[in-house]
Structure 1
Amino acid sequence: MEAAKEDTKALKSVEAAVEARETTSEGETPTQGNMAGSEKSPDTKGTRMEETEIVNDRKQKTEDKVQKLHSKNGDIQQNEVQKEQVQESAKEQTVNEVKDMAQLEKSKEQEQQGVEEEEEEEEEEDDVFGALSVFTSEVFATLSSPAEPLQREERNPRPLAANGVDPANTMRLLQDLMTYDEEEPDVTYGLGPMDSHGRLAVVSHLLAALVTTLDPQHLRRLATRIMSDSCVWVSRLFRYFESTAYIHEDVREGVVRVCRMLLHTRYPKYTTDGYQALYARPPVIYTSSTVRPGLPQHIATMLGIGCGCVRVVPCNTIVGSPVAMDTAALDRMMAEDLAAQKKPFLVIANAGGGAVGGVDNVGRIQELCNNYEAWLHVEGHALAALTLPNAPNLSAKVGDSMTLPLSLWLGVPSLPYITLYRAYEAAAVHAVGLTALSLHVRLSCLPLWTTLQTLGQSGVVSRFQHAFELGQHLQQHLATLSRIRLLSPAPPDGSNFVTIQDLVTKPISTSQLLETVSGSVVFQYVDEANNGGKNTEYYDNLNSWLGQVVRRDVGTIPLELVQLETAGLVLRWSPMEGPDTHHITLADVDHLIHSLHHQLDILNATVEQRKTFTELVSSANNLQLVEIPGWAGLGGVRYIADLWLDQNPVLETTKDDINALNVHLVSQLKATDSAFSLGEGSDGLNCVRFGMVTADTDLSELLSLVITTGREIETSSRFLDQMTDIVRKGIEAATEDLKRENEERLWQEGILRHVPIVGSVYNWFSPAPPPGIKGRTLDLTAGVLESTENIYRYHMQIRHGSAPTRSETKLPPAPSVQTPVSPSASSPSHSRSSSTTSALVPGSTHSRQASDLPPTTPDIKNISAPTLTANGTTAAV
């Protein structure tokens, strides 16, 4: 019985252990709220169910054994043995179950640790972009925040630091170099405004450098995808389907590599023999005179064929546009070179590029290239019009290759250039590197890819269309203005006129498409008698003034001044080159046209009044006509005093006086009218400068004002010169008189009175009489030098030449000394020195230095209290 009781207790302990394990397993959560652990919970539940079944089976077996033991109560020994076996089996089961639970918990911990590591890796990947974003924001904030300029020693170049510099100090120096310039310390520079597309392009450059940290194989696959997308999009945009694109950083690199491909194609032995293969039939490059300067010479230099292989084709002089290539001359040149055992190699045509924006006859040039087996490369702003027609499947046949500056046309900063070309042989293409990708530094095509993605086809086309509409609208109005010569190709008038909208909706040939759009607007103000020649220097000054004034009035349209060899100074605006063209409206163009109308009225009036101005100045005796370099107004006049009219040539000393007189004249005229200004003629002398005038300006009145003011200054300066001469002579006479009086007094009093010690004893025994005060006074009005005894005795002054008043009826005796002082008869009536001029005209640039001035007063330290009076005012000498 005791054994049965013990077996029952063992059975209960096993059941309690099983219930405790079930309770523990039911109370546990899968992974304590972890999503990754919850995804693995079905496997964990299956494992627990298998464990529960095993325990139940073992429990059932134990119960069966216990029942058998109860049925055999007689055999106590056998029951004890079975009891021991049951206890051992129960212990083993408990140990095994504990081990299973430990392994299960360990696996759970490993799974949870793996999930946490994966989450940490994902967080680290996110942190790379997040940290980069924060760093970029800090850099942009540092560069955009205003700061005071650094000291000179902080911004001067210095050797490379041995231990490096703090990045914050580096960005601070970069900000200072971007904002300030030592050559222009008063000017503050800043970054230009950018829209969302421009900012995305700038950030894409950062990402293009960042993606180079990817795995090399993955980076190559990514670069191939982005490269192929960009090439396909551009080819379809410009309807140049049978072509391949090459993306490059230098605008000239594309056509250079295309020419190298041609060398491999046209000269089969070029790969093995090199440049010796070109000796038998050297290649020749033909270019239009309106193509971008230096491009053909650069191609010849890079190919190693020399600039002697470049031939410039003249423009049309009789038939066709004067800014387009003469196709007849091109045909003649190519035939001559072919007969001379040379090979026509490349023709560079212009389609709205260059300074003037001329458009060559691309269709005819293509026919000539096909006949002579030459390659045709086209450049220019008009190529953007290939995207306008609403016929995406219609191919545009424009040359064999073309270079597209999309960054310039779209107004998005720092996009790469694209050269579309027809590929002949794959071996030649790979030999010159037209398909190579530079992945070591950055992925250069990524900014282009992001820009095309965000703009889309409609965005690109709308920007091009808007720019062409602005240019055509301005050209239409300029063609109607008189004395305005339009140098860029003007749109046809009458029934042949085609609008930009017609290019989108109507089927138009490619040649007509290129000739209709206006990539650049170039014009200038000309003389009525000008028949297409070059402007004179004066009209160049007028165009310079017109461009500056209009650009000041209409700041939204960036007019630029360009110097052309055949026309002179011209005004140019290219809507395809402005970064903010898509923000300019037709109202802004109308404002520009209104400003041009107003300024043209002033120009016409100035040109007409200039003839009258020249005649009036020539008829005046004291006025001299002056040509002022770079001045667009009426011109300049110089006032010449009567004294200097007979001097031919003018003396050097007289030039200083003439400069000073005209400086004083301009200062007096400015007080009357601010339109007068000081100028300098081609001879280096000062003059009165006349600016732009209107039709109702009275030139005779202005010139008479100049003459009147000049005579007044001349008269006043003559009076001052006379007074200067009187004062100088008066001081000299006073010095001589006082010196003579001192000598006489010395002899009268005796020498003993002036001997030291002896003179004191002698004066004590025989005091000398008190000396009389005999200073000198100078009357500038009368020109008389007198002694001063009456002034100190009677306390009164007498004006010479004036009638005596009632209080002056009883006059004092005449002074003991009266010396008349008058200017020298030999001195001119108008001889003003530079020192006097500098005193009369403050700030004069022609005054001498103080050390160069002649002395005007003697050293009179030993003179006893002399005085001078001017018009009754006494002053000590």
Structure 2
Amino acid sequence: MGDASVEDTESNKHSPQSEAPSETDRGPFGGLEFQVSEVVERLEAGVNAHEAGDDERRREPRKISAGFFEPEETSMDEILKVLEELVLKTDPSCESAEPPLLPTDAVTRAAILSHSIAALFGRLERSHAARLGAHVASETSRWMAHMFRLADYSAYYHQEQLEGLVRVTRMLLHCRYPRYLEDGALAFATRLPCIYSCVASPLGVVQHLCRQLGLPLACVRPVPQHPRGRGMDVPALERLCSEDAAAGRAPLLALGGAGAAPLGGGEDLPALAAACRRQGLHLHLRGHGLALPAALPRDESYSIADSVTLTPGPWFGVPGLPTVTFYKIPEPMTANDHSKGVNPSAEPGGDEPPTVDLVEAMSRASACVAFQFAPADADKPPPYYDKLNSWLGQVLQREADMISIEVCETESHGVVLRYCPLEGSVTSDLDGLPAILDAQVHVLRATAALREPFLQHVAAIPCLEAAAVPGWAGLGGVRYVPAGWEDTPQRLDALNRQLVEALRATDGAFSCGESADGRACVRFGMVTADTDVQELLELVLLAGKDVEDSSRELTDMTEVLKKGISEAVADLERENALRLWQEGLLRRVPVVGRVVDWWAPAAVPPPPGRRLHLQHGTLQPTSDVYRYIQKKSESEPARAHSPARQPTTDGTDQ
């Protein structure tokens, strides 16, 4: 990183060929192409011992494929132009005809150049590349160890964040179990290793560790959290280690955190390191607090832990940087040596004592901002405030997209909103965040202040009852229960759903919800300070009465229809029985009935029709309707055959 500015300055010196840059060089890809090509040419000139002759520099003829697909040769300028057009087409927010400008700051250019240099080094001979890689790794490790104040550590670079921890744990297993390489998991049959992690730490870390090493989850020993939230409880850790040693297990590894998730609270590193020394545990530290020594103007080093994992990519704002794990190689220890214990006076990782000031600063360091909406003078907010903070986090994730907000649920503080710049973009634009946050805080204050009056008004209205809606951050839920409907839960659910549809036609703040008992209810959303709760409830009452009346009319009409249908069915059954008696039983026999009908047709008239009068709820015959239709059909032909009237001169018909 220290040489990046020198290379960047030298790369700005244009060569004679670049005095008149082409149109492509001025595009978003052209400048990067020029920088990358210039650096690659400089490196090639250093690698090659002599310049190629004219015959070697001569362009080789293009080989044509024997297949049917033979693309034409394309220049680099045309390829860059096609890429720019693709960037323009695939960007939905681009309104102009020019392609969007890619990030061209010094950090981005350094990252792009590093990938180009790595690709170039990959073309070297294997022995040359090995020597070059070893030299670069050694210099980088020494530079990073000096920056982060780490002394006498070895470094391991990896892309996956937990790969270094897996390697350190595997190394510990080989040291503690000499037969681990030959016997594998059978080496743990008589003495199971134990890995200690705080209950507040992410569970995925120890799960990934066990899966990669083939360890059972019984190896994981959860340690209670400190009463003040500062990492794990150190006395509880020592008690667990003593119990495991007495039970025939092998305490192996303790996972600590400096500025650990979720709230950035650090461990009490001096006390934790002393406990690990007494119990013979390997202490591994992770977290953003480990970046603090690089920001402090001090020269002293520390060796409080046996291994640490650093993530310089997010800290420096350079994507693609590998994660590095610094570790000290432990001395081989057999089971008998471990049962005797470790010298309490021995310092971790060597004889050099840790620097107390720097370690204390790392213990108190926090690389994230944790905040929540809570009442004044409350150690832990009521459960309702967890819903409000969840709502606030969802709103900020949607509207304040300039930063990365994470909603965390903690045991000691409830739901907390967390912002960590070291996990995202360090150069985030925070100018618009205060206005967005202030507007949402006004809504939260109004909703929290009006919730209690809202519940009191609901309790005072006979036909309304409060409904507890899980996970709802608004004023709450209300169920409309008219008199006489208490014993009909299905009708009540349908009534409240119809009520929500009627209310949403006037105000979109209402929504249909489901209470804790699975019943439908009306949900009231977030409100502002000028909201009249009593007016909202009166609106619900008026709409509820209208829906109730409509429901009663529909219910009455349903009953009328049921009654009319049952009467019509009874009449039809009675008339069919009478007709069967009049026609005789022979007409119902399948074969004989046809012969009887042909020989002596029945003179029984068909059963009369009926219609249901909804207003009176009675069945009426349809004979009058048939007579009216018959008279009308008989009068139509007579009117059609009458002579047409001739118009007179004054416009009247004769």
The alignment's TM-score, normalised by the length of structure 2, stands at 0.64
The AA in structure 2 aligned to 1:411 is G
Give the distance between the partners of 1:356 and 1:258, measured in 2 at CA.
26
Secondary structure of the equivalent of 2:222?
A: strand
Instruction: Say yes or no: does 1:309 pair with 2:219.
Output: yes
Q: 1:484-516: CA deviations, max 9, x gaps? A: xxxxxxxxxxxxxxxxxxxxxxx9812332134
Instruction: Quote how far apart the aligned CAs of 1:671 are.
Output: 5.4
Give the distance between the partners of 1:192 and 1:567, measured in 2 at CA.
44
Is residue 554–residue 591 contact of structure 1 (8 Å, CA) maintained in 2?
no
* 1:865–1:721 distance in 2 versus 1, CA, 3 Å: farther
Give the structure 2 partner of residue 512 of structure 1: 360
* 1:620–1:566 distance in 2 versus 1, CA, 3 Å: same
Give the distance between the partners of 2:507 and 2:262, measured in 1 at CA.
41
Instruction: Quote how far apart the aligned CAs of 1:402 are.
Output: 0.6
- Aligned runs of 1:374-773 on 2, under 5 Å? 374-391=281-298, 393-423=299-329, 509-526=357-374, 531-532=379-380, 536=383, 538-564=384-410, 568-578=414-424, 580-585=425-430, 587=431, 590-591=434-435, 594-595=438-439, 597-605=441-449, 609-641=450-482, 645-650=483-488, 652=490, 654-655=491-492, 659=494, 661-662=495-496, 665-666=499-500, 668-670=502-504, 672-682=506-516, 686-715=520-549
Secondary structure of the equivalent of 1:397?
A: coil
Task: Select the residue among 61, 64, 89 that pairs with 1:146.
Answer: 89
Secondary structure of the equivalent of 1:697?
A: coil
Larger radius of gyration, structure 1 or 2? 1
* 1:564–1:207 distance in 2 versus 1, CA, 3 Å: same
Secondary structure of the equivalent of 1:294?
A: helix
Tell me the number of residue pairs that the alignment of Structure 1 and Structure 2 aligns. Answer: 499
Give the distance between the partners of 1:616 and 1:212, measured in 2 at CA.
75
Task: Select the residue among 340, 344, 354 that pairs with 2:251.
Answer: 344
The AA in structure 2 aligned to 1:412 is V
* 1:604–1:235 distance in 2 versus 1, CA, 3 Å: same
Is residue 238–residue 396 contact of structure 1 (8 Å, CA) maintained in 2?
no
Secondary structure of the equivalent of 1:583?
A: coil
Is residue 406–residue 415 contact of structure 1 (8 Å, CA) maintained in 2?
yes
* 1:728–1:293 distance in 2 versus 1, CA, 3 Å: closer
Is residue 348–residue 377 contact of structure 1 (8 Å, CA) maintained in 2?
yes
**RMSD over aligned Cα atoms:** 4.8
Is residue 378–residue 402 contact of structure 1 (8 Å, CA) maintained in 2?
yes
Instruction: Say yes or no: does 1:370 pair with 2:218.
Output: no
* 1:313–1:195 distance in 2 versus 1, CA, 3 Å: farther
Q: 1:776-825: CA deviations, max 9, x gaps? A: xx9xxxxxx9xxxxxxxxxxxxxxxxxxxxxxxxxxxxxxxxxxx95349
The AA in structure 2 aligned to 1:708 is L
Give the distance between the partners of 1:401 and 1:274, measured in 2 at CA.
24
Is residue 313–residue 320 contact of structure 2 (8 Å, CA) maintained in 1?
yes
Give the distance between the partners of 2:318 and 2:623, measured in 1 at CA.
78
* 1:134–1:344 distance in 2 versus 1, CA, 3 Å: farther
Q: 1:217-243: CA deviations, max 9, x gaps? A: 222233223322322222121111311
Instruction: Quote how far apart the aligned CAs of 1:714 are.
Output: 4.4
Is residue 626–residue 635 contact of structure 1 (8 Å, CA) maintained in 2?
yes
Instruction: Quote how far apart the aligned CAs of 1:370 are.
Output: 2.8
Give the distance between the partners of 2:511 and 2:249, measured in 1 at CA.
63
* 1:546–1:685 distance in 2 versus 1, CA, 3 Å: same
Give the structure 2 partner of residue 793 of structure 1: none
Secondary structure of the equivalent of 1:352?
A: coil
Instruction: Quote how far apart the aligned CAs of 1:326 are.
Output: 1.5
User: More displaced, 554-563 or 279-288?
Assistant: 279-288
* 1:139–1:518 distance in 2 versus 1, CA, 3 Å: farther
Task: Select the residue among 102, 127, 131 that pairs with 1:221.
Answer: 131
Give the distance between the partners of 1:621 and 1:415, measured in 2 at CA.
66
Identity of aligned residues (%): 36
Unaligned runs of 5+ in 1: 1-112, 125-129, 148-174, 180-190, 427-506, 737-777, 779-784, 786-820, 826-854, 868-877
Instruction: Quote how far apart the aligned CAs of 1:202 are.
Output: 5.2
Give the distance between the partners of 2:145 and 2:74, measured in 1 at CA.
38
Give the distance between the partners of 2:630 and 2:309, measured in 1 at CA.
91
Give the distance between the partners of 2:561 and 2:218, measured in 1 at CA.
79
Give the distance between the partners of 1:687 and 1:344, measured in 2 at CA.
55
Is residue 257–residue 267 contact of structure 2 (8 Å, CA) maintained in 1?
yes
Task: Select the residue among 225, 245, 250 that pairs with 2:155.
Answer: 245
Is residue 382–residue 518 contact of structure 1 (8 Å, CA) maintained in 2?
yes
Secondary structure of the equivalent of 2:277?
A: helix
Task: Select the residue among 240, 253, 263 that pairs with 1:356.
Answer: 263
Secondary structure of the equivalent of 2:372?
A: strand
Q: 1:335-374: CA deviations, max 9, x gaps? A: 4444555443222111112223231111222223333433
Instruction: Quote how far apart the aligned CAs of 1:662 are.
Output: 4.4
* 1:314–1:136 distance in 2 versus 1, CA, 3 Å: farther
* 1:219–1:336 distance in 2 versus 1, CA, 3 Å: same
The AA in structure 1 aligned to 2:125 is D
Give the distance between the partners of 2:503 and 2:266, measured in 1 at CA.
53
Give the distance between the partners of 1:375 and 1:856, measured in 2 at CA.
95
Instruction: Say yes or no: does 1:286 pair with 2:132.
Output: no
Give the distance between the partners of 1:515 and 1:684, measured in 2 at CA.
48
Give the distance between the partners of 1:310 and 1:720, measured in 2 at CA.
64
Secondary structure of the equivalent of 1:251?
A: coil
Q: 1:677-726: CA deviations, max 9, x gaps? A: 44454566554332223445332232223223433454567678889999
Task: Select the residue among 137, 151, 169 that pairs with 1:259.
Answer: 169
Q: 1:645-688: CA deviations, max 9, x gaps? A: 22442064x35xx63x5455445545554544444545665543
Instruction: Quote how far apart the aligned CAs of 1:268 are.
Output: 5.5
Give the distance between the partners of 2:203 and 2:489, measured in 1 at CA.
50
Task: Select the residue among 55, 77, 86 that pairs with 1:117.
Answer: 55
Secondary structure of the equivalent of 2:522?
A: strand
Give the distance between the partners of 1:635 and 1:566, measured in 2 at CA.
25
The AA in structure 2 aligned to 1:632 is A
Q: 1:618-662: CA deviations, max 9, x gaps? A: 332333333334321122333344xxx22442064x35xx63x54
Q: 1:37-74: CA deviations, max 9, x gaps? A: xxxxxxxxxxxxxxxxxxxxxxxxxxxxxxxxxxxxxx
Give the distance between the partners of 1:255 and 1:723, measured in 2 at CA.
74
Give the distance between the partners of 2:408 and 2:623, measured in 1 at CA.
64
Is residue 386–residue 396 contact of structure 1 (8 Å, CA) maintained in 2?
no
Is residue 557–residue 584 contact of structure 1 (8 Å, CA) maintained in 2?
yes
* 1:704–1:261 distance in 2 versus 1, CA, 3 Å: closer
Is residue 542–residue 603 contact of structure 1 (8 Å, CA) maintained in 2?
no
Give the distance between the partners of 2:89 and 2:629, measured in 1 at CA.
66
Q: 1:283-307: CA deviations, max 9, x gaps? A: 4322222333232344345444533
Is residue 544–residue 569 contact of structure 1 (8 Å, CA) maintained in 2?
yes
The alignment's TM-score, normalised by the length of structure 1, stands at 0.49
Give the distance between the partners of 1:235 and 1:557, measured in 2 at CA.
31
* 1:338–1:554 distance in 2 versus 1, CA, 3 Å: same
Unaligned runs of 5+ in 2: 1-50, 63-72, 93-99, 333-354, 572-610, 632-654
Give the distance between the partners of 1:424 and 1:727, measured in 2 at CA.
88
Give the structure 1 partner of residue 616 of structure 2: 823
The AA in structure 1 aligned to 2:473 is A
Give the structure 2 partner of residue 870 of structure 1: none
Instruction: Say yes or no: does 1:234 pair with 2:144.
Output: yes
* 1:863–1:347 distance in 2 versus 1, CA, 3 Å: farther
Instruction: Quote how far apart the aligned CAs of 1:116 are.
Output: 2.0
